[in-house]
């Protein structure tokens, strides 16, 4: 039976993509080394779809492990999420980020070719654009030097895929440049699972909303934006998950030695204060926050022009910012009961 291999599939975006794949009847095999995710994701996925994804515990950097997986399953497409992704951590551990993120990708490319698997969907990031000079961002927008080793691994990964295909590799690939994934499956039974103190805005907001954190630190309100706080293109994780399925379907009737790149955002930019105003609609008392200094490395504003994905992938995001904040809050509440 045709199988979709999801690397990093117990992680935040990987688990949500597995759910959407299973809802459409795809058979999913997850590879994960659980370095930044919880095995509980498997039962949470099953509680939503009723289907147990096949799980292979292991590291994509282990080429013999990966080769065995390709021998064991009849894989039709690979969706490659497995990577380290903490911007700040990457600054203090660059070698770990370069070796993990790049060796895993190169193993995937060589092993899929060896086993004549054609389709690769790769998880990239809008971080490759840095602070764009012109907004919204299209796929032709000039890339800027990455402001973290993490961001640089995404840029280099894109180059590795493109160079490999241009060398004549018999594969076809879609590179998806995510904007800011947030929120949780609308069932409220699965969502983001940051380890320790959240780096990202949304989980910090939901933990503050539940009193786990005293208050949200808003990193700067002196940006050149309407309310002075930084703007991002937040996208619901389920909308992002569905973009992977659209990308996989798009690849199926393409020749090999082919690749394409898509921005996956909503096209709407929201400031930190606008996100706070959104979640306040679902709280009995306003979210406590304090304006502090800017965070080093942050850009001021970015949002996507998603028209290429809309038109060519025939993909449209359906969830609003209020869906994003309310679903994230519902998941936080569920998580605290599920402890
Ligand atoms: C969003 C906004 C912060 C926390 C990063 C990576 C990106 C992707 C998503 C992996 C910014 C502000 C945040 C807080 C705040 N990761 N903020 N207080 O930095 O846009 O993107 O995560 O793929 O590649 O670069 O996301 O959620 O950290 O921040 O004010 O406690 O919220 O300054 O303006 P970011 P974020």
Verify whether ligand 1 is closer than 6 Å to residue 127 (CB atom): yes
- Ligand 1 mean position to 261 CA, how many Å? 23
User: Given this model, what pLDDT does residue 100 score?
Assistant: 98
- Mean per-residue pLDDT for 39-67? 97
User: Given this model, what pLDDT does residue 288 score?
Assistant: 98
pLDDT digits (tens, 9 = 90+) for 27-44: 999 999 999 999 999 999
User: Given this model, what pLDDT does residue 1 score?
Assistant: 64
Using the predicted structure, report yes or no on whether residue 2 has a pLDDT greater than 80.
Answer: no
Query: By the 8 A CB rule, do 89 and 297 touch?
Result: no
**Gap between the Cα atoms of 166 and 184, Å rounded:** 37
Verify whether ligand 1 is closer than 6 Å to residue 125 (CB atom): yes
pLDDT digits (tens, 9 = 90+) for 141-186: 999 998 899 999 999 999 999 999 999 999 999 999 999 999 999 9
- Ligand 1 mean position to 281 CA, how many Å? 22
User: Given this model, what pLDDT does residue 236 score?
Assistant: 98
Using the predicted structure, report yes or no on whether residue 339 has a pLDDT greater than 70.
Answer: no
Query: By the 8 A CB rule, do 42 and 55 touch?
Result: yes
List residues with catalytic annotation: 150
Residues 6+ apart with CB under 8 A from 262: 139, 174, 175, 176, 177, 243, 247, 308, 309, 312, 313
Measured between alpha carbons, how far apart are the two ends of the chain, in Å? Answer: 36
Question: Which residue's CA is the nearest one to ligand 1's atom 7?
Answer: 127
249 burial (CB, 10 Å; 0-12 / 13-18 / 19+) is: middle
- Mean per-residue pLDDT for 49-72? 98
- Ligand 1 mean position to 220 CA, how many Å? 12
Closest CA to 245 of 11, 10, 13, 8: 13
- Mean per-residue pLDDT for 196-213? 97
Verify whether ligand 1 is closer than 6 Å to residue 282 (CB atom): no
Closest CA to 183 of 16, 44, 309, 18: 16
| Percent of all residues in the chain with a pLDDT value above 90, rounded to a whole number | 96
pLDDT digits (tens, 9 = 90+) for 85-128: 999 899 999 999 999 999 999 999 999 999 999 999 999 999 99
Sign of CA dihedral 327, 329, 330, 334: positive
């Amino acid at each position: 039976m045709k199988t979709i291999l999801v690397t990093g599939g117990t992680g935040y975006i990987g688990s949500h993509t597995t759910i959407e794949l299973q809802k459409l009847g795809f058979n999913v095999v997850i590879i994960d080394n659980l370095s930044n995710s919880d095995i509980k994701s498997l039962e949470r996925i099953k509680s939503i779809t009723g289907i147990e994804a096949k799980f292979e515990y292991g590291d994509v950097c282990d080429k013999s492990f990966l080769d065995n997986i390709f021998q064991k399953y009849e894989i039709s497409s690979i969706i490659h999420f497995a990577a380290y992704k903490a911007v700040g951590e990457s600054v203090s551990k660059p070698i770990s980020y370069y070796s993990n993120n790049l060796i895993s990708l190169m193993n995937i490319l060589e092993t899929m070719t060896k086993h004549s698997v054609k389709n690769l969907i790769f998880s990239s990031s809008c971080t490759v654009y840095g602070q764009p000079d012109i907004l919204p961002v299209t796929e032709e927008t000039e890339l800027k030097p990455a402001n973290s080793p993490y961001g640089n691994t995404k840029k280099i990964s894109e180059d590795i895929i493109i160079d490999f295909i241009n060398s004549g590799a018999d594969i076809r690939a879609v590179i998806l440049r995510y904007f800011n994934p947030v929120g949780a499956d609308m069932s409220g039974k699965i969502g983001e699972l940051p380890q320790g103190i959240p780096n990202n805005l949304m989980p910090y907001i939901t933990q503050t909303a539940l009193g786990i954190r005293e208050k949200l630190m808003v990193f700067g309100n002196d940006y050149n934006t309407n309310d002075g706080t930084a703007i991002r293109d937040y996208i619901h994780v389920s909308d992002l998950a569905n973009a992977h399925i659209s990308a996989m379907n798009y690849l199926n009737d393409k020749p090999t030695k082919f690749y394409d790149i898509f921005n996956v955002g909503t096209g709407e930019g929201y400031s930190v204060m606008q996100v706070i105003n959104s979640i306040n609609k679902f709280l009995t008392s306003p979210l406590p926050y304090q304006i502090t200094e800017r965070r080093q490395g942050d850009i001021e504003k970015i949002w996507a022009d998603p028209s290429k994905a809309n038109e060519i992938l025939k993909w449209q995001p359906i969830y609003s910012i209020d869906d994003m904040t309310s679903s994230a809050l519902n998941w936080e509440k569920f998580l605290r009961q599920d402890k």
